[in-house]
Amino acid sequence: MKRKVVAFVSSMLLCLTSAVSFAAETIKIGALYPMSGRGGLYGQDSEAAIKIALAEVNAKGLPGGKKLDVIVTDDQSKPALAVTLAKRYITEDKVKFLYGVVSSGAALAVTEVSKEYKTIFVGTDHAATDLTANAFQKYYFRVSNNTYQSMAAGALYMKDEMKGAKKIAYIGPDYAYGRDQIAELKYSLGKLGVQYEMVGEFWPKLYEPDYTSYITAIIKAQPDVLVSGFWGGDTVAFIKQAKAYGLFKKMKYFHPDGGGNYEVFSTLGAECPEGLIMSARHHNNWPETKENKDFVAKFKKATGRYPSYAAEGAYAGILAIAEAIKKVGNADDTEALIKAMEGMKVRLPEDPKGFASYIDPKTHQMVQAQAIGVTVKNDKFAPAKYMLGKFKVYPADKIMPTQEYIDILIKTKKK
């Protein structure tokens, strides 16, 4: 299995230090990401962002002169492989932290390893609410939004901006990620008192090559709004095929979680329809803060391309780990590190002015604002020809999962 060590130590230190003492001067993090295939871009972008974050935190220094280094291994988004790699990281590589993971299925498996070996697992990408609800365990922390936060913001947007939309249809991949989104949207709309009629739910398989039958069925159902739960290449494929059938002229297209990911716009280019309503966990063009502009510029300089949303999550996790180590004074006291991370504030590229993301002490979920926008012409981030604009921003504390919903999840999963 191919592995990479992402470390930033001066050449002089490498020359003066033996292999044994070098290991003593570093704090190892074991990262798991898909590095090829449909999810490979997310792994590659995450690795690039990790390098940027390591350069920053190691330049500032950690207690005792220690440095962070990260081992990156391709988990292929397979739960069984991820478990094997996570155990090897802990028992052979002696990592202090498990890290990353794109697939929620793989993350749910790795969190059990984290619990068994009492090793902190910092999730940077996967979005299943389960990990901070019914599958919660104290060694797990997530530094990016979960699907509940996206869909709760989506419900607020529908209440505020789609008052005339009474008929809703939903299409999403037929597994937990897709099914959780519509359940969370329904719950959130219900809490807000929004009246609507569900005129159809459509469940293609992940990586479905042909959406023709679904598109024709959706058009026949005549919804006012089509809510989408796709991600990545499936989003691109559906939009291309639906555009050919004129779907976007017949209804609003609403994609609150992963629709507005940059890689969607860069792949679609000029084919992107105008007026789609979307969001993502990070935007290259919002917020217009120094932190976000600097992050995007550093990534572009390092890679020659603009970052996908996954990069910002990977960047955020390194900052959080470094901050926890600084507070504790070392990386050996796991219980103290947990306490240090609970409630921790971290100013991130995706944070609007006047706000800093923080980790909820109870669920270990990062609490962040959510911005929902509309596709408009914008060629400042080539090869994309469209980006999101006309943003509506929803406060972080308004979109966190309620205890009532967490209890519902726990009760449902026990059945």
Query: pLDDT of 171-203, one tens digit each?
Result: 999 988 898 899 999 999 999 999 999 999 999
Mean pLDDT of 115-130: 95
Computed over its alpha carbons, how large is the radius of gyration of the chain? 21
Show the tokens assigned to 73. Answer: 């291994």
Res 17: pLDDT:
29
Mean residue pLDDT across the chain: 92
Q: Which CATH code fits 148-280+369-414?
A: 3.40.50.2300
- Whether the ω angle into residue 383 lies within 30 degrees of 0, i.e. cis, is yes
pLDDT bucket at 111, cuts 50 / 70 / 90: very high
Q: Domain map of the chain by residue range?
A: 3-145+288-367, 148-280+369-414
Mean pLDDT within 304-313 = 96
Give me the architecture of the 3-145+288-367 domain, per CATH: 3-Layer(aba) Sandwich (3.40)
Would you mind telling me the total number of residues written for the chain in this entry?
A: 415
Which residues does 169 contact at the CB level (< 8 Å), separation at least 6? 198, 199, 200, 201, 202, 218, 221, 223, 225, 226, 227, 251
For 359-362, the CB contacts below 8 A with 24+ separation are: 359/141, 359/143, 359/320, 360/132, 360/400
Own/partner long-range contacts of 79-85 (Cβ < 8 Å, ≥24 apart): 79/103, 79/105, 79/106, 79/108, 79/109, 79/110, 80/109, 82/32, 82/106, 82/107, 82/109, 82/110, 83/109, 83/110, 83/112, 83/113, 85/1, 85/30, 85/32
pLDDT digits (tens, 9 = 90+) for 229-266: 998 889 999 999 999 999 999 999 999 998 999 999 99
If pLDDT is split at 50, 70 and 90, which confidence band does 356 have? very high
Q: Does the pLDDT of residue 327 top 70, yes or no?
A: yes
* pLDDT(8) > 90: no
* pLDDT-derived band at 24, boundaries 50, 70, 90: very low
The order of strands in the sheet holding 345-346 is: 345-346, 357-359, 366-367
CB 104 within 8 A of CB 126: yes
Question: What letter does residue 351 receive in the DSSP assignment?
Answer: P
Q: Is the pLDDT score of 3 beyond 90?
A: no
Number of neighbouring beta carbons within 10 Å of residue 45? 27
Q: Is 148-280+369-414 in the same CATH topology as 3-145+288-367? A: yes
CA atoms within 13 A on the CB side of 312: 29
Residue 311 has pLDDT above 50, yes or no: yes
The verdict on whether omega for the bond into residue 223 sits within 30 degrees of 0, i.e. cis, is no
Residue the block writes with tokens 């509309």: 374
The structure's pTM equals 0.90
